[in-house]
Amino acid sequence: MAYRNILTKEQEILRKKSRRVEVFDDKLATLIDDMYQTLEQAEGAGLAAPQVGVLRRVVVINVGDGPMELVNPEILWTEGEDDGLEGCLSFPGQWGFVVRPHKLRVRFQDRTGAVHEEEGEDLFARCVCHELDHLDGVLYVDKAEKMLTQEELEELVAEKQAEYEAEQEQAH
């Protein structure tokens, strides 16, 4: 496994549509393993192959239930809407509010080509949608209703920290 550089901002490849994976071989397995390591080192929730310079329909996510690899993913259905704060490893330090489905079902393959389906909500749904957008050359900044300034972000973090501390104090 190796750490790969994450492309940032408006590098042209981030705007290109990725091609389906047709060959499930050691090269694909290496890409997925490298993407896992890169995601872990960057402390992110998800990473799409175009973000490491590879125009293939491959995504890795890690949103609490352990890491998942999604090859040739497609969303089967969505339900509801949530407006939430979102960031991206390709836009370090930038955050914005994006409306995403509350719940979804996704079909995908793993590194061996086996087909799977997974249903999830909240952060899982947000992450899947965000990463699948990358596969189509769409960036979250295109969909953000509002991007936060550094001052707004700091205020939001301070507010959430105060809420957390108040909850902790009430629990004791």
Candidate list 131, 155, 159, 169, residue with the active-site label: 131
- Residue 1: count other Cβ atoms within 10 Å of its Cβ: 12
Whether 131 sits among the annotated catalytic residues: the reply is yes
Let me know how long the chain is.
Answer: 172
| DSSP SS3 for 103 | strand
Binding site annotation covers 116? Answer: no
Binding site annotation covers 130? Answer: yes
Cα–Cα distance between 122 and 61 in angstroms, integer?
14
Binding site annotation covers 129? Answer: no
Which H or E run includes 143? helix 140-143
**38, 59 in Cβ contact below 8 A?**
no
Residues carrying an active site annotation: 131
Binding residues for Fe cation: 88, 130, 134
Binding residues: 88, 130, 134
